[in-house]
Structure 1
Amino acid sequence: MKIGKNMHHDRRSLLTVLPALAVAGVAQAETRPGPIDLPKTEFIYESLVTLGPVQQVGDSPFGRRVRIPITGGTFAGPRIRGTILPSGEDWQLQRPDGFTVVEASYWLQTDDGAIIHIVNKGVAGKDYARTTPWFEAPTGPHQWLNEAVFTGTLAPVPGRTDAVIIRVFKIV
């Protein structure tokens, strides 16, 4: 083995690489899985959504498509309340496996006059109905709706076929 310039060069290379390896080791240690941080939820509002008659669109390879007009309703929670404007619709796909894919688009009007667009997608079955609402709120007191992920539950109103109850929760 030759000692001299090459050893000096190798030592300098080693001194350059060692700190990088140490940093990589620390970074790897910091990204190792730890306990799972389960998401929590914060109640945002409950809504009573009124519906028009179901309109059959037709069968497709994916299931039966129906359209349900959203005719109005109300919503209320600790930070927000108002009415549901009568201009939306829910396009549902009733799948052969017994589940229904929901995709509703409608408008909320808050008590302070803000108009908020909501697109609420989800899946519903016999004992399960969950949605993921996305909001488009104007800049101002309700813009916090644009800055989080939400989930919702969907349930029939006992004794009625023209309304559903939707509860919305912020994932925190």
Structure 2
Amino acid sequence: MTVDTRAKTVETISTAPLFDIVVDLDPRVDFGADAPLGRRVLYRAAGGSFDGPDLRGEVVAGGGDWALIRPDGVMLLDVRLTLRTDDDELVYMTYLGRWVIPPQVRADMADPASRHRIDPARYYFRTNPLFETGSTRYAWLNDLVAVGSGYLVDGGVGYHVERVL
């Protein structure tokens, strides 16, 4: 196979911390029987907080994750959240993602009382947050791409979010 001569060597992608976020969740809403693409569920955001070098604040209740659980058990995330910064600015955060739980971890995940204690290294939980805001102070968020690593916490989910430089 030949290499396309139009391909260029570019700088390696690097990241820097944006924030850590914890989203408290209401009980899951199940849309019912499996649909052709899988089982649709809603995890409503009940609140939470975020904290990073350049912004911090709270997760406003009312957003959520309209997730699709595929027949193979992989969860496709579709999340929309409102963030309120500590100086009272609003930021819309949206992301897609994947949560892949290997078969050998699924039994441990079945217990809602203890699954938040499972080491996140045992599963793959990644997101790609994007942001919108009319705030002049946080307008820089409108132009960046971020990546996040998710994990379970007692009562919700957490993410370590990095900005792509």
TM-score grouping bracket, smaller chain normalisation: 0.7 to 0.9
Aligned equivalent of 1:50:
24
Deviations 1:123-149 (A, max 9, x none): 111211111111111241101110111
Structural mapping, 1:31-110, within 5 Å: 32-58=6-32, 59-110=34-85
Aligned equivalent of 2:127:
131
Aligned mate of 2:156, from 163, 168, 172: 163
Aligned equivalent of 1:27:
none
Structure 2 residues not aligned, in runs of 5+: 102-122
Compare CA radii of gyration and give the structure with the larger one.
1
Q: Which has the higher helix share?
A: 1
- Provide TM-score, normalisation by structure 1: 0.77
- Provide TM-score, normalisation by structure 2: 0.80
The separation in 2 between residues aligned to 1:92 and 1:33, in whole angstroms, is: 36
Q: Secondary structure, in 3 states, of the residue corresponding to 2:142?
A: helix
Letter in 2 for 1:49: V
State the 1:97 CA deviation. Answer: 1.6
* Runs of 4+ deviating beyond 4 Å: none
Q: Secondary structure, in 3 states, of the residue corresponding to 2:157?
A: strand
The separation in 1 between residues aligned to 2:37 and 2:163, in whole angstroms, is: 31
The separation in 1 between residues aligned to 2:10 and 2:24, in whole angstroms, is: 39
State the 1:168 CA deviation. Answer: 1.2
Between the aligned residues of both structures, percent identity stands at 34
Q: Secondary structure, in 3 states, of the residue corresponding to 2:140?
A: helix
Contact 2:89–2:135 (8 Å) recurs in 1? no
Measured on the aligned residues, the alpha-carbon RMSD in Å equals: 1.4
Aligned equivalent of 2:119:
none
The separation in 1 between residues aligned to 2:94 and 2:7, in whole angstroms, is: 34
The separation in 1 between residues aligned to 2:15 and 2:134, in whole angstroms, is: 23
